[in-house]
Amino acid sequence: MTDLSPEEQDILTSVESEEWTSVSNLNSEIERYKNCFQNSTELTEEIKIRLGTEVLNILKEKANQSGVSLQTLISHALQQYATSKLES
Protein backbone atom coordinates (compact mmCIF):
# COMPACT_ATOMS: atom_id res chain seq x y z
CA MET A 1 0.00 0.00 0.00
CA THR A 2 1.22 3.51 -0.72
CA ASP A 3 1.96 5.98 2.03
CA LEU A 4 -1.11 7.95 3.03
CA SER A 5 -1.23 11.56 4.12
CA PRO A 6 -2.58 12.14 7.65
CA GLU A 7 -5.90 13.28 6.16
CA GLU A 8 -6.14 10.17 3.97
CA GLN A 9 -5.30 7.97 6.95
CA ASP A 10 -8.07 9.62 9.00
CA ILE A 11 -10.56 8.94 6.21
CA LEU A 12 -9.44 5.32 5.87
CA THR A 13 -9.72 4.79 9.63
CA SER A 14 -13.18 6.35 9.62
CA VAL A 15 -14.35 4.09 6.77
CA GLU A 16 -12.86 0.99 8.37
CA SER A 17 -14.64 1.89 11.64
CA GLU A 18 -17.91 1.87 9.69
CA GLU A 19 -18.62 5.52 10.52
CA TRP A 20 -19.86 6.05 6.96
CA THR A 21 -23.28 5.08 5.65
CA SER A 22 -24.56 5.07 2.11
CA VAL A 23 -27.17 7.59 0.99
CA SER A 24 -30.58 6.22 0.08
CA ASN A 25 -30.43 7.71 -3.43
CA LEU A 26 -26.94 6.50 -4.28
CA ASN A 27 -27.40 6.22 -8.05
CA SER A 28 -28.80 9.74 -8.43
CA GLU A 29 -26.00 11.13 -6.24
CA ILE A 30 -23.39 9.37 -8.39
CA GLU A 31 -24.95 10.91 -11.50
CA ARG A 32 -25.10 14.34 -9.85
CA TYR A 33 -21.39 14.24 -9.00
CA LYS A 34 -20.50 12.94 -12.45
CA ASN A 35 -22.34 15.90 -13.97
CA CYS A 36 -20.58 18.33 -11.63
CA PHE A 37 -17.21 16.88 -12.59
CA GLN A 38 -17.97 16.94 -16.31
CA ASN A 39 -19.18 20.54 -16.12
CA SER A 40 -16.11 21.66 -14.18
CA THR A 41 -13.65 19.99 -16.56
CA GLU A 42 -15.38 21.42 -19.63
CA LEU A 43 -14.70 24.90 -18.31
CA THR A 44 -10.95 24.50 -17.88
CA GLU A 45 -8.10 25.29 -20.22
CA GLU A 46 -4.53 24.12 -20.15
CA ILE A 47 -1.71 26.63 -19.87
CA LYS A 48 2.06 26.34 -19.80
CA ILE A 49 4.23 28.38 -17.45
CA ARG A 50 7.94 28.51 -16.80
CA LEU A 51 9.20 28.76 -13.24
CA GLY A 52 12.68 29.00 -11.85
CA THR A 53 14.07 25.85 -10.26
CA GLU A 54 14.15 27.40 -6.79
CA VAL A 55 10.50 28.51 -6.94
CA LEU A 56 9.45 25.17 -8.41
CA ASN A 57 11.20 23.27 -5.62
CA ILE A 58 9.49 25.42 -3.00
CA LEU A 59 6.10 24.79 -4.60
CA LYS A 60 6.78 21.05 -4.83
CA GLU A 61 7.63 20.97 -1.13
CA LYS A 62 4.49 22.93 -0.21
CA ALA A 63 2.37 20.60 -2.34
CA ASN A 64 3.95 17.58 -0.67
CA GLN A 65 3.33 19.04 2.80
CA SER A 66 -0.28 19.75 1.87
CA GLY A 67 -0.83 16.29 0.41
CA VAL A 68 -1.89 17.62 -2.98
CA SER A 69 -0.36 17.53 -6.43
CA LEU A 70 1.80 20.38 -7.66
CA GLN A 71 -0.76 21.17 -10.34
CA THR A 72 -3.56 21.34 -7.77
CA LEU A 73 -1.54 23.64 -5.51
CA ILE A 74 -0.66 26.03 -8.33
CA SER A 75 -4.21 26.00 -9.70
CA HIS A 76 -5.65 26.74 -6.26
CA ALA A 77 -3.17 29.58 -5.63
CA LEU A 78 -3.95 31.15 -9.00
CA GLN A 79 -7.69 30.87 -8.38
CA GLN A 80 -7.27 32.59 -5.01
CA TYR A 81 -5.17 35.32 -6.62
CA ALA A 82 -7.69 35.82 -9.40
CA THR A 83 -10.52 36.18 -6.91
CA SER A 84 -8.49 38.63 -4.80
CA LYS A 85 -7.96 36.30 -1.86
CA LEU A 86 -4.22 36.84 -2.10
CA GLU A 87 -2.50 40.19 -2.19
CA SER A 88 -0.69 41.03 -5.40
| Conformational region of residue 67, where left means phi above 0, alpha means psi within -120 to 50, and beta covers everything else | left
Q: What is the pLDDT of residue 44?
A: 73
Q: Which residue has the higher pLDDT, 2 or 19?
A: 19
Q: What is the pLDDT of residue 39?
A: 61
User: pLDDT tens digits, residue range 30-78?
Assistant: 888 887 776 665 667 888 999 999 999 999 999 999 888 898 889 888 8
Q: Which residue has the higher pLDDT, 85 or 17?
A: 17
What distance in Å separates the CA atoms of residue 46 and residue 43, rounded to the nearest whole number?
A: 10
Q: What is the pLDDT of residue 56?
A: 95
